[in-house]
Amino acid sequence: MLDSRTREIVKSTVPLLESANTALTQHFYQRMFRDNPELKDVFNLSNQVSGRQPAALFNAVLAYAKNIDNPAVLASAVERIAQKHTGFAITPAQYDIVGHHLLETIKELAPDAATPEVIDAWAQAYGALAGLFIGREEQLYQQSEQKIGGWRGYRDFIVKDKQVESAVITSFLLEPKDGGAVMDFLPGQYLNLHLVSPKLANNEYRQYSLCQAPNGKTYRIAVKREPNGVASNFMHDEVHVGDSLQVLPPSGDFFMEVGPEIPVVLISGGVGQTPMRAMLDQLIKHKHTAAIHWLHACEDGTQHAFQKDIQALRQANSNLTTHIWYRTPGEQDQAAEHYHSEGFMNLNQLKDSITTPNTHYYFCGPLPFMAMVKETLVGWGVSDDRLHYEVFGPHETL
């Protein structure tokens, strides 16, 4: 446990951190990749270019400094990051590297403020936080290893099927090369891939949503092609049926766990429907008795993935209702047959049918979309404990 003096010193650096903002973490990543280029095989460099990763790290460092007297308030963030880290096979030694570059960054950007006392306080604070992550991640590694069909580290899977789901989304059915069972997961979680190929400048780790309920034998993931996405374009263009992929166990802190009597509303925008697809599959598989609402918004019919699957499930299950929004329907898109409303999603259209006191809401999609959904539901008086959402990539707060 950190002593009061150490906590006091760390808190005193909050104004310095705030004034530096993301320049701190941008400098940190630049020096770390310069001195430890092997870590380019761990981090998603696309998120470096976009600025999302430096921003996410800065917010995490700042939050830790502000809440160092009560780190329990950061429990959900710690769990989310630990889950992500297990998908990168992070090791304790890598925490030492990160800690070194963080302290050196403070020295280089704020030489006047970086007294030996300040550096020592931050070294102790970082060590405590790293220990927390290392301990939790080891628990997660062991849990995955001990489950039926579970494993630790990399396991080879064969692509058994590759299915084009829309103009931008393709799904991949993966089966273990060793012929063994695979561990169950909670619907909403993702699968971790380690992509290694001479066609890639660096090895790439990626997390892709599992879009089918667990069956103990295979996993199905869905991948959206991003315009400049190194990994997503590789998956779409270079990975074919019969190829082998290195897979790490499923993980993620966004998942659905509800009793059969709980009404569920699944709300998605674009590729955000992929974790919802596994949730819906699980609800149907377990013969959920309460109402299920599937609400989805996308550009048009060409980008509407899983359309026929959802229509078939709706026809076969009387407790499932659907509502689809196309922002700009194409000439081939037929109202009532392919979609219900034109334009952006408007939940107020359905307020009376999707609000009951015990309904739980799960939503995923672009950040502005999710902010709209959350603002609408909170405005209706829905409590936070019934709101569940996922941000793809580095976590950001709605």
The amino acid present at 120, given as its one-letter code, is D
275 is in an annotated binding site: yes
> Residue 193's beta-bridge partner residues?
206, 247
Q: Do the beta carbons of residue 336 and residue 240 sit within 8 Å?
A: no
State both tokens at 318: 């009387």
* Cα 26 from Cα 23, distance rounded (Å): 5
Report the C-alpha gap between 176 and 191 in whole angstroms: 13
- Please tell me whether 394 is known to bind a ligand: yes
List the catalytic residue out of 29, 64, 137, 204.
Answer: 137
Q: Is 126 a catalytic residue?
A: no
User: 379 by DSSP, 3-state: which?
Assistant: helix
206 is in an annotated binding site: yes
The reply to whether 274 sits in an annotated binding site is yes
The one catalytic residue in 64, 95, 205, 339 is 95
- How many Cβ atoms from other residues are within 10 Å of residue 38's Cβ? 11
**Residue 124 assigned as binding residue:** no
Judge whether 209 is annotated as a binding position.
yes
Task: Find out whether 271 is annotated in a ligand binding site.
Answer: yes
Cα gap 137→82, rounded to integer Å: 6
Is 392 one of the annotated binding-site residues?
yes
CB burial of residue 287 (10 Å; 0-12, 13-18, 19+): exposed
Look up residue 133 and give its DSSP letter: H
* CA distances to 222, 236, 374 from 229, in Å: 14, 10, 28
What's the CA gap between 93 and 134, in Å, rounded?
10
**Residue 219 annotated as catalytic:** no
- The secondary structure of 217-232 as a DSSP string is S-EEEEEE--TT-HHH
208 annotated ligand binder: yes
Closest CA to 87 of 129, 141, 136, 40: 141
- DSSP notation for 138-205: HHHHHHHHHSTT--SS-EEEEEEEEEE-SSSEEEEEEEETT--------TT-EEEEEE--TTSSS-EE
- Please enumerate, by residue number, every residue annotated as part of a binding site for heme b: 85
- Please enumerate, by residue number, every residue annotated as part of a binding site for FAD: 190, 206-209, 391-394
- Please enumerate, by residue number, every residue annotated as part of a binding site: 85, 190, 206-209, 270-275, 391-394
Q: Report the catalytic residues.
A: 95, 137
